Structure 1
Amino acid sequence: MSTIELPEPLSPEVIEGSSDMPTVLTVDDEASVLSALRRVFRAQGIRTLQATSAAAGMALLQTHRVDLVISDMRMPEMDGARFLELVKHHDERIVRVLLTGYADMASTIAAINQGAIHRYIAKPWDDHELVLVVREALTRRRLEQKNAELTELTQRQNEQLQHANQTLESRVMARTAELEQINGMLDAAYEDLDNTFVLAVNVFSSLMELRGSHPGHARRVADLSRETAKRLGLTEREVRDVYLAALVHDIGTIGFPDTMLGKPMSTYTADDHQRYRRHPIEGETALMALAQLQGVAKIVRQHHERVDGKGFPDGLTGTEITMGARIVTAASDLDELTHGAMGELHLPVDRAHDLIRGGIGTHYDKAVVEALLQVAEDLATAAKNDAQIAAHDLRPGMVLARAVLSAKGATLLAAGYVFDERVVRQVTAFASREGVRLTLWVRSDSLPSDVKPVKSPRA
């Protein structure tokens, strides 16, 4: 009999930074099955609890923290479908997996409908497949827990900010605006889940940039990449993936030490360079657990590849590199050249464009560069028509032309934001209450005729 090579043991770091060993409850009336499952999971660093009946399984759930339940379908007294339904009522956050024979398809359907199982695995199972299913499920559960913790943290910080000392008013204003934007995104989730998901990625991108030295980079790259993808005729879904990938293309650097983030690459040590060259892989790993981000994860992995094959981490060439990655690569380099990330120099626009053109055939795809530079020129022309207005002249329906940033560079309101009555009231009330002269840049085509800009378009 051939030997199946299992994946590397599951370490706490693999489960998104968890310091606790994950726990799996296995329920089967056959002791041999439980022993086999215990051997598989023990080799992966996963703690197991075992029960030979549904009743015993429920008793263990009352006294232990369990991340995932694997139940056999055929058991005396209560079958797996009914048991997993009870597990769902006990704690719907527990991942539920069903072991079932091919003859039990009707019962399996019942388990899907009643127990809302996440996966079912046919018996006899393949150890490799079983381990991968459990890994994916545990990683997803950890991400959901982290999301809940972040939401709770946001709410606590919002309450703390409301009672902050008056000497911290300027910081309170910036943080409160940020939290209110997040709360607005959460409210929108009940109306349009997909739109909320995109907005959540935007917020996460802004939070990541709090650690970086080039605020606004991801947002600018995302805008350039999205418009370039449209110009190249990509589908709506592909454009969406390109936009999201640009927002989080540097997610793999989130674990870098502050000292490494704050110095030019030319001063990196050998260890720093090795770590930097791994960040596309680590970025892909961080995103792979979310089904909606599979295309995004692929772009993130490839955004340092070159069309001549001299990039990293995989040395891909030409069309082996996904179009989305070719777009994000060129857009990111263009923004870094014009905003000082490469060599800490702010190059003139014409010089930056010449350098990007010079990389055609080595670093960049020709069609991508031609579309990107045209998009950059169009956006620059459109920006000349922006109008600056006083906060008291703000009206619902106006479109924000330039992002509003906090003192640390975090995006409070993104460019393209359409003001509604609630946000207009908040901005004007703050300006009036604090006696500050607050101005915002809006698109001139959204400016009512009765509002006079502080600075006219092209001023």
Structure 2
Amino acid sequence: MTEQTSPTTPPTLLLVDDEPSILSALRRLFRPCGYRILTSESGAGGLALLAEEDVDLVISDMRMPEMDGAAFLEKVRAGWPRAIRILLTGYADIASTVNAINKGEIYRYVSKPWDDNDIVLMVRDALQSQRLQSENTRLLALTQSQNEELKMLNSGLEARVQERTAELEQVNGFLNLANDTLKQSFLVSIKIFSTLIELREGSAGGHARRVADLSRKLAMQLGMDAKTQQDIFLAGLLHDIGKIGFSDAMLAKPVPKLNSEELSRYRKHSVAGASALLPLADLKGAADLIRVHHERFDGQGFPDGLQGLGIPLGGRILAVANDYDGLQIGTLSERRFGADDAKALLVRSRGKRYCPEVIDALVELLGKPHDEPGQENVVPVDELRVGMVLARDLLARDGTLLLATDYLLDANLVREIQAYARRESLPLVLHIRNHTKQR
């Protein structure tokens, strides 16, 4: 069924749910937005509509007979990859959710009952992003077409066209190197997983980012290499991914208030989080640290009862960073502690619950000024080395982002940056973190 909401060509939404009442509610919600709306009560019907109509965005329920949302969105991705895909579900099933994420490459995950304002803004932002991407593709195609026309009009410009093409390929090489890993690892995992966590965090919002930042600073303080620092940072961002299936009531309770059933489930979340990341090879190091971030130095932790130096250093770092923030936001105790009191509690458990080496690093780190000088060095392009980490964004002459802050330089990137500087005759210097160990 179809509704035309504007005489122009508005974006088209396809709503798929086996419950007519849900379809009616979504249709009423989006009608004032001016979208063209298609609906279907089954995955098969939705595929039939996609074969006949130009659809910009698909919202599908997860649990449907014959073909569930994960299978349906996988077929949508294969046949109509341009269509944005949003999963709508009313039950907490991490296995089904991860399956939909991996196979259907969904844009967002929305729990029933949804918040009307949130889902309307989500759809609006998704469509806007799609329009910008389409316009960028059009402009790139136009640029390529104009270059070809210039080549045909004046063969004497052929050398210049080739030079310009080489320059574009150089910039695209930066973008491809920087974005390939981000697309396959970050876009398919970190963005979606972090979004799922943030939707449920409530008063603990920002916890993952704070844990990740503090963990990376501790790793730098302890002289760990850049790759390990990156794994620890990612593990900090995702350390609570295993809590996705927790109820809102359970998430709102501090650990001491959990009943026996809830506590049993809580003690399994680090394993669940690590398992969820196993299909992503680039996140294996982070997954291993997530599994052990609730182990204790005295061997009384979970899930494996590891003890002392048998716990990876990254896991010992995460344990300290996680509990330092948890004490302040009230997830570990009915009382919220100030920063100094939280630090004092951790220090009292030095050598018992926490690794002495990490606690000493925390005390030293927290005693430093927040804006301590000397956090970065300015390095000429010819002195770049493998293993350096960018302290600031690297921009092209026209302001285009070439590489983002915190990017780890490998041999290919060093060569690309140096070649770019020579070709553009730029006296290029880069801001490099001075705690990075260079190979």
TM-score by length of 2: 0.47
